[in-house]
């Protein structure tokens, strides 16, 4: 059922989105900064947005809208100008063809992904779809179900906060291959090899607004099999705000009973020993180390999102993408963190987090992300290989 999301709901949404983002999907800091400026006035015509199920989205077309770039670099944005400008270009292009843009589709589960989708929709008088392209956050566009479903990526807009627009138009040599896997791989290669350096330009400041994958209602239903994730994040955030999830056991029970997710503890509770990041080319590249009481450590490697976790006491990985690796802090205070939220202003572990009890939680990936030989799983494994793991995908159920 459709419902209205108010400004007061955004804090719960961004907290739940952060947990489901596998360490990425934007920082709580950046999402909270944007949410704080969501008030009716000169920028937003109203401080609410309509959320609709995929099955209800029949009044026009949808477009995926997101920020592309390094999460830490986005922290200072007050308004989602880049994504709004990118979506406005798509809206105008469709209107010129007698078509109507009615919906914004979130790219992924994450604090920023959900909040930006809602804010862009509110700014332009559109509705936001209750679902996303992964059920977690991802570092690369081919890891989304929009790519795997063969949605045509033409046009694609990357726009800076100040309005500098770059349009991507990759025309396949054979028109019959438009939107197919080979075409999607061509697009992803250009996006990752050309647009990432573009966001590194001083005009972009390591991030920009992306709008691509325009979908009719029929195409949207095929391209978004992972549904209800915005509401799932909202409900988890409300449970966190109400203080009902003070320890890891309570969290795992909530995920089982309310989200039908068989999540489990991969390591901890323990204390954060170190964290570090290098921001370059539109990515946050880093690692976080969690120390256990028995002297063992777990190290999480991330490229914006957490992709691979090792234990000093085990010969095989604790977990790997596309399964999610999420941070959870027990007790009072903020309990969910992206990798970027763990860092202080010097790019190292925030001293205020020393002494907190953290758990690394593993969440099995949604089925569309685990298809053997599929574009999504192959893309994840290629990314994991860049972090040094050259073995096969080991689903959480197989990892001991």
Question: What pLDDT does residue 394 have?
Answer: 95
- The model's pLDDT over 248-281, given as tens digits with 9 standing for 90+, comes to 999 999 999 999 999 999 999 999 999 987 766 5
pLDDT of residue 400: 47
Which residues are CB-neighbours of 293 under 8 A, at least 6 positions away? 270
Token output for 237 = 């955030």
Distance CA 39, CA 41 (A): 6
CA proximity to 10, closest of 42, 46, 29, 36: 36
pLDDT value for 171: 67
pLDDT at 155: 84
What is the architecture, at CATH level 2, of domain 245-386? Beta Barrel (2.40)
Torsion from C-alpha of 382, 384, 386, 391, nearest 10 degrees: -80
Per-residue pLDDT of 323-342, as tens digits, reads 999 999 999 999 999 999 99
65 touches 86 (CB < 8 A): yes
* Per-residue pLDDT, 221: 98
Q: Where do you find CATH 2.40.390.10 in the chain?
A: 245-386
Whole-number pLDDT of residue 331: 93
Find the helix or strand (DSSP H, E) in which 311 lies.
Answer: strand 305-311
For 207-269, the DSSP string reads EEEEEEEEE-HHHHHHH--SBSHHHHHHHHHHHHHTT---SHHHHHHHHHHHH----EEEEEE
Q: Where in the chain is CATH 3.40.1610.10? A: 3-229
**CA-angle at 237, arms to 147 and 265, nearest 5°:** 75
CB 296 within 8 A of CB 310: no
Distance CA 15, CA 32 (A): 9
Q: Is the domain defined by 3-229 classed in CATH 3.40.1610.10?
A: yes
Predicted pLDDT at 172: 60
Q: Which residues pair with 360 in a beta bridge?
A: 267, 327
Instruction: List phi, psi (to 5°) of 133.
Output: -95, 10
CB 68 within 8 A of CB 74: no
Give pTM, 2 decimals: 0.92
Strands 48-52 and 358-363: unpaired
Cα dihedral: 358, 301, 34, 76 (round 10): 110
Contact 269, 294 (CB under 8 A): no
Q: Is the peptide bond before 131 cis (omega within 30 degrees of 0)?
A: no
* Residue 155, both tokens: 């046009």
* Intervals of the chain under pLDDT 50: 400
């Amino acid at each position: 059922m459709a419902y209205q999301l108010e400004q007061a709901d955004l804090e719960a949404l961004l907290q739940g989105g952060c947990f489901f983002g596998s360490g990425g999907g934007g920082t709580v800091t950046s999402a909270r900064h944007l949410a704080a400026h969501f008030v009716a006035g000169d920028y937003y015509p109203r401080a609410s947005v309509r959320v609709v199920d995929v099955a209800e989205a029949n009044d026009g077309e949808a477009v995926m809208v997101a920020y592309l770039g390094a999460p830490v670099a986005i922290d200072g944005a007050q308004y989602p100008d880049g994504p709004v400008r990118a979506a406005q270009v798509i809206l105008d292009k469709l209107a010129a063809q007698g078509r109507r843009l009615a919906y914004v589709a979130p790219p992924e589960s994450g604090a920023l992904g959900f909040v930006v989708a809602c804010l862009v929709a509110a700014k332009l008088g559109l509705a936001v779809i209750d679902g996303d392209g992964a059920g977690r956050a991802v570092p690369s566009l081919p890891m989304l179900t929009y790519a795997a479903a063969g949605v045509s990526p033409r046009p694609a807009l990357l726009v800076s906060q100040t309005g500098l627009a770059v349009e991507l138009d990759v025309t396949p040599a054979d028109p019959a291959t438009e939107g197919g896997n080979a075409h999607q791989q061509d697009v992803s290669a250009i996006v990752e090899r050309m647009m990432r350096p573009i966001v590194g330009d001083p005009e972009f400041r390591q991030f920009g607004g992306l709008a691509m994958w325009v979908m009719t209602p029929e195409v949207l239903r095929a391209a978004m099999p992972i549904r209800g994730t915005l509401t799932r994040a909202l409900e988890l955030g409300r449970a966190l705000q109400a203080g009902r999830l003070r320890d890891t056991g309570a969290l795992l029970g909530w995920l089982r009973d309310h989200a039908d997710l068989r999540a489990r503890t991969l390591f901890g509770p323990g204390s954060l020993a170190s964290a570090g990041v290098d921001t370059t080319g539109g990515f946050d590249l880093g690692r976080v180390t969690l120390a256990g009481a028995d002297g063992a450590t777990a190290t999480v490697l991330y490229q914006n999102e957490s992709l691979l976790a090792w234990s000093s006491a085990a010969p095989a990985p604790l977990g790997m993408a596309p399964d999610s690796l999420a941070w959870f802090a027990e007790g009072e205070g903020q309990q969910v963190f992206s990798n970027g939220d763990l860092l202080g202003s010097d790019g190292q572990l925030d001293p205020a987090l020393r002494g907190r009890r953290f758990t690394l939680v593993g969440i099995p990936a949604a089925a569309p992300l685990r298809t053997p030989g599929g574009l999504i799983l192959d893309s994840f494994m290629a990314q994991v290989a860049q972090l040094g793991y050259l073995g096969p995908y080991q689903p959480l159920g197989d990892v001991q």
